[in-house]
Amino acid sequence: MNKALGRNDVCWCGSGKKYKKCHCAFDEKLEAFRMKGALVPDHSLIKTPEQIQGIRESAKINIAVLDYVAEHIRAGITTEEIDRWVYEQTTAMGGIPAPLNYEGFPKSVCTSINDQVCHGIPSEDVVLQDGDIINVDVSTIYRGYFSDSSRMFCIGNVSPERKRLVEVTKESIQVGLAEVKPWGFLGDMGQAIHDFARENGYSVVRDIGGHGIGLEFHEDPWVSFVSKRGTEMLMVPGMVFTIEPMINMGTDEVFVDEADGWTVYTDDGAPSAQWEVQLVVTEDGYEILSY
């Protein structure tokens, strides 16, 4: 709530309109939710139309890179090769791969196979095998704006059990998106995904989640996919975040590879799948930015 702002002052959102004709009623509504004990986003998490346009442009590159991967991925290639594609395609379009050197991450993309949950590091030593399922997680910086989305790929003849895991995880994105609307809670989305995964006999990773994104790679809020309806942050127009559940065939317990400090595995060695979508909350629902 911006108490210093007069009703006739220019709105904080960058629209150029008077506060009373712009976000004044919005701020009053936010304040009412806050008074009721809700976790509400602060203004820094609400993107301006100009920023959203910048993120859209970044996301166009992100989507094009994933499309390139989709066309070329196959058994027999190394994950290092995927890393090269991502670096070359991203930079050819004027972007920067966001993972590269991010907190010391050594590559341009995350590639996570079978029981790898996320943050797998591409390597010359990892050759894609017939029957593998792999998540390719692409993130782009373009003119200072961040985009992030990931897809699963089935390599050759994948077992029906693994295929179902990949499909259910993809469906869980739609189940989650159906809950995204202004003045709902992130927990509405989180519980919907969790319930859907459990109905299908799977577990959902608790320790790793989605995130706000746009001006930074990882912004508030942290986004859980095992949360409860009516809890977690209020969703309001202009918020940009990811939905990226990691769904496991076995236990939800995971661990980080001590040797590389990054790769996350399932505790029981059972397969894990993940899809990731980046969206902006709109006046009447959401717009997908990257997928």
Positions touching ligand MF3 (CB under 6 A) are: 99, 102-103, 105, 110, 119, 137, 139, 148, 211, 244, 276
Nearer to ligand MF3, 155 or 277 (CB): 277
User: From the list Co ion, ligand MF3, none, which binds 110 (C-beta under 5 to 8 Å, kind-based)?
Assistant: ligand MF3
d(CA 290, CA 138): 10
Biggest alpha carbon–alpha carbon distance for the chain = 65
User: From the list Co ion, ligand MF3, none, which binds 105 (C-beta under 5 to 8 Å, kind-based)?
Assistant: ligand MF3
d(CA 1, CA 29): 10
In the complex, minimum distance from the CB of residue 276 to Co ion, in angstroms, rounded to a whole number: 5
In the complex, minimum distance from the CB of residue 18 to ligand MF3, in angstroms, rounded to a whole number: 38
In the complex, minimum distance from the CB of residue 162 to ligand MF3, in angstroms, rounded to a whole number: 21
Q: Count Cβ atoms below 10 Å from residue 172 Cβ, excluding itself.
A: 26
By three-state DSSP, how is residue 58 classified?
Answer: helix
Nearer to ligand MF3, 103 or 258 (CB): 103
Q: Which stretches of the chain bind Co ion, using CB under 5 A?
A: 148, 242
| DSSP-H helix ranges across 73-201 | 79-92, 160-177, 186-199
Nearer to Co ion, 99 or 271 (CB): 99
In the complex, minimum distance from the CB of residue 257 to ligand MF3, in angstroms, rounded to a whole number: 12
In the complex, minimum distance from the CB of residue 242 to Co ion, in angstroms, rounded to a whole number: 4
In the complex, minimum distance from the CB of residue 276 to ligand MF3, in angstroms, rounded to a whole number: 6
Nearer to ligand MF3, 42 or 216 (CB): 216
The number of C-alpha atoms within 13 Å of 193 and in the hemisphere containing its C-beta is 34
Nearer to Co ion, 19 or 149 (CB): 149
Nearer to Co ion, 148 or 179 (CB): 148
By three-state DSSP, how is residue 53 classified?
Answer: helix
For ligand MF3, the nearest residue by Cβ is 99
Cβ proximity of 136 and 150 under 8 Å: yes
User: From the list ligand MF3, Co ion, none, which binds 81 (C-beta under 5 to 8 Å, kind-based)?
Assistant: none
Integer-rounded Cα radius of gyration of the chain? 20
79-92 vs 49-72: helix axis angle to the nearest 10?
140
Among residues 16, 146, 127, 139, the alpha carbon closest in space to that of 66 is found at 139
